[in-house]
């Protein structure tokens, strides 16, 4: 049998990585992103190679927990040092013809081995990612590998101008742990602007002091359970329909999230 080789990405891989990401993910990445993941040491970018062709890759960003986006600020217990780092899996993909052959597992295992066996990464306390709620293949893959569902993220993705729900998943490593609270994973974002969807078509922006109040309510509704349910979605729709009577409509564009696993 011919062996699959593993190697880190380099700048000359940019054209091939662009092609693969275009095939795998419904998101268009800027050129600067490809340049970063193939040259910046803060990224762990590993490729699986067969007959000199890249057939799979994993890209993860190592960063201080204080640099996380708002929705990921509560990953670690507050008792852990503020300079603790976390690792965000941006992409994990395998060429269609080679899927279900353990390549995604091989790539993920190498990332975890790198994070848990090197002295330089012992301060990395959590490995996390975002995934569409409808991406059942990816969800089963990560749950089988001991990742735990952290949060339900309503309307988190923007796919072809349509807002889609997401989950965040986390694997704690090197002694990392979540905040021990009965209300976990509930927490409050100090947002000044939030967007909610009405009938999957219109977006409303809420601002000022009223925004802070609605922010708390929406966070509570979406995080009392990590699982989306008809009750939660119905409440969001009713709230939106009530608020639209006195809040002006505005066109709002959501940023696309970088992670959609293709395994």
Catalytically active residues, by annotation: 88, 130
Cα dihedral value 235, 237, 238, 241, nearest 10? 160
Contact call for residues 107 and 60 (beta carbons, < 8 A): no
3-state secondary structure 34-64: HHHHCCCCCEEEEEEEECCEEEEEEEEEEEE
The span from the CA of 12 to the CA of 182, in Å, is: 49
Indicate the DSSP class of residue 76: S
Structure tokens at 169: 């998943």
Q: Which residues does 240 contact at the CB level (< 8 Å), separation at least 6?
A: 196, 197, 198, 204
Per-residue b or e along 73-84, where b marks 16 or more CB atoms closer than 10 Å to that residue's CB: ebbbbeebeeeb
Place of tokens 């992409």: 91
Task: Work out the burial of residue 168: count CB atoms within 10 Å of its CB; fewer than 13 is exposed, 13-18 middle, 19 or more buried.
Answer: buried
Which residues on neighbouring strands pair with residue 158, listed in sequence order? Answer: 163
The CA distance from 249 to 28, in Å, is 28
């Amino acid at each position: 049998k011919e062996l699959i080789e593993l190697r880190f990405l380099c700048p000359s891989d940019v054209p091939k990585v662009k092609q693969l990401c275009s095939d795998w993910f419904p998101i268009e990445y800027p050129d600067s992103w490809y340049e970063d993941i193939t040259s910046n040491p803060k990224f762990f970018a590993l490729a699986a190679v067969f007959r000199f062709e890249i057939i799979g890759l994993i890209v993860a960003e190592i960063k201080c927990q204080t640099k996380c986006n708002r929705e990921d600020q509560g990953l670690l217990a507050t008792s852990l040092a503020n300079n603790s780092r976390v690792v965000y899996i941006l992409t994990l993909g395998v060429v269609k013809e080679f899927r279900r052959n353990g390549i995604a597992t091989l790539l993920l295992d190498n990332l975890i081995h790198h994070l848990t066996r090197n002295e330089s990464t012992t301060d990395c306390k959590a490995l996390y990612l975002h995934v569409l709620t409808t991406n059942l293949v990816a969800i089963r893959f990560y749950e089988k590998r001991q990742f735990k569902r952290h949060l339900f993220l309503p309307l988190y993705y923007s796919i072809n101008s349509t807002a889609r729900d997401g989950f965040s998943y986390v694997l704690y490593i090197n002694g990392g742990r979540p905040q021990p609270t009965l209300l976990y994973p509930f927490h409050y974002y100090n947002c000044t602007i939030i967007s909610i969807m009405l009938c999957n078509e219109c977006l409303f922006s809420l601002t000022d002091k009223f925004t802070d109040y609605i922010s708390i309510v929406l966070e509570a509704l979406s995080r009392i359970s990590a699982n989306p349910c008809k009750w939660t979605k119905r409440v969001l729709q009713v709230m939106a329909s009530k608020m639209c009577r006195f809040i002006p409509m505005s066109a709002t564009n959501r940023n696309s999230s970088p992670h959609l696993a293709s395994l």
